[in-house]
Amino acid sequence: MTEISRRQTLRKHERLYEKKSLELVFLKGTAINNPPIKLLWTIDQQKNKIPVKVAFSVPKRTFKNAVTRNLLKRRMREAYRKNKIYKTAGGETYALIFIYTARKINPYPEIASKIVVTLQHFKTATGAE
């Protein structure tokens, strides 16, 4: 990988935002549950240069205030940004959705540690680096 791709950023082309891809992950995705984080993932049908596209979700049913949902999504994005996946086995591309499942607002260090553990489970399941 080049120097540019190793920067700790989360750019638009690394985010999963296409409606068709999101629906596919929710319908046919494999789940890794590590409370308070649940990861849904599937192999992305669109072949991209980006090995992993990612989205973050906090249920409106659990957290009514948008401010709270945005806070939790920011915490999850930051944890992923610092520990993201740069390379996958066999050049596969994956679509990931992180879902916050707890009913309370956890501090950033707890969310970050759970994201790291969840990513390690994903890496062992897929052979990613």
The pLDDT tens digits along the chain (129 residues) read 444 456 788 899 999 999 999 999 999 999 999 999 999 999 987 777 888 999 999 999 999 999 999 999 999 999 999 998 888 878 889 999 999 999 999 999 999 999 999 999 999 998 877
Cα 78 to its chain centre, rounded Å, is: 11
Residue for token digits 């920011």?
74
What CA–CA distance (Å, rounded) separates 111 from 37? Answer: 8
Cβ of 66: how many Cβ atoms within 10 Å? 10
With contact defined as beta carbons under 8 Å apart, do 123 and 40 qualify?
no
Which CATH number fits the domain 4-126, given the four candidates 2.20.25.90, 3.30.230.10, 3.40.630.30, 3.30.530.50?
A: 3.30.230.10
* pTM greater than 0.75: yes
